[in-house]
Amino acid sequence: MSKENKIKSENKGSFKSKKLRYGGYSAVVSFILIAILIVVNLVVSELNLTFDLTPNSIFSISDTTETLLENNEDPITVYALYEAGGEDETIMNILKDYEKASNYINVQSIDPVLNPNFVEQYKTGPDEMIQTGSLIVVNENAPTRFRVVSPYDMYAYNQYTQQQTLDAEQAITSAIDYVIKEELPMVYVVSGHNESSLSYSLTEQLKSQNYESKEVNLLTDEIEAAEDNIIVINSPKLDLTEDETVKVTEYMEAGGRAIIFVDFNTPDMPNFNSILKRYGLAVDSGVIVEGDKSHMMGYYANILLPNLESHDITDGLAANDLNVVIPQAAAIRELDQKKSQTDVTPLLTTTKDAYLKADPNSQTVEMEEGDVPGPFNVAVAVTEDNYNDIENTTLTSKLVVVSTSAIMEDSLIASTGNLDFLINGANWLSDQEDSISILPKSEMLERLVLDQTQALLYAGFFIILLPLIVIVYGISVWLRRRHL
Alpha carbons 116 and 76: distance in angstroms, whole number: 22
Alpha carbons 17 and 358: distance in angstroms, whole number: 105
Q: What is the DSSP letter of 398?
A: E
Instruction: Say if residues 424 and 317 touch (Cβ distance below 8 Å).
Output: yes
- Amino acid in position 416: T
pLDDT of residue 378: 95
Residue 240: count of CB within 10 angstroms of its CB: 24
- Beta strand 342-349 with 307-308: parallel, antiparallel or unpaired? antiparallel
Alpha carbons 410 and 388: distance in angstroms, whole number: 41
Alpha carbons 288 and 306: distance in angstroms, whole number: 11
pLDDT of residue 449: 57
Alpha carbons 422 and 400: distance in angstroms, whole number: 10
Cα end-to-end distance, the chain, whole Å: 29
- Beta strand 377-388 with 342-349: parallel, antiparallel or unpaired? antiparallel
Whole-prediction pTM: 0.71
SS3 of 443, please? coil
**What Rg, from alpha-carbon coordinates, does the chain have?**
34
- DSSP element (H, E) containing 421: helix 418-429
Q: List the one residue out of 156, 159, 147, 6 whose CA is nearest residue 79.
A: 147
pLDDT of residue 230: 93
Residues belonging to the chain:
484
Alpha carbons 478 and 391: distance in angstroms, whole number: 91
Instruction: Say if residues 333 and 281 touch (Cβ distance below 8 Å).
Output: yes
Alpha carbons 260 and 58: distance in angstroms, whole number: 37
Strand ranges inside 29-87, DSSP E? 76-81
Residue 412, φ and ψ in degrees, nearest 5 = -90, -40
CA angle 115, 118, 123 (to 5 degrees): 130
Q: Walk along the chain (484 residues) and give the pLDDT tens digit of each residue.
A: 555 665 565 555 555 666 666 677 777 887 888 888 888 877 777 766 666 666 556 667 777 788 888 988 999 999 999 998 888 888 898 899 899 999 999 999 999 888 888 888 898 877 788 889 999 999 999 888 899 998 888 887 665 555 667 788 888 998 998 899 888 888 999 999 999 888 888 888 888 888 888 999 998 988 877 777 899 999 999 999 999 999 999 999 888 999 999 998 888 899 999 999 999 999 998 899 998 888 988 888 889 999 999 999 998 888 878 889 999 999 999 998 888 899 999 999 999 999 998 887 877 778 888 888 989 999 999 999 988 777 788 889 999 999 999 998 887 776 678 988 998 899 899 887 666 455 555 555 555 556 677 778 888 888 888 888 888 888 888 777 766 5
Alpha carbons 201 and 412: distance in angstroms, whole number: 10
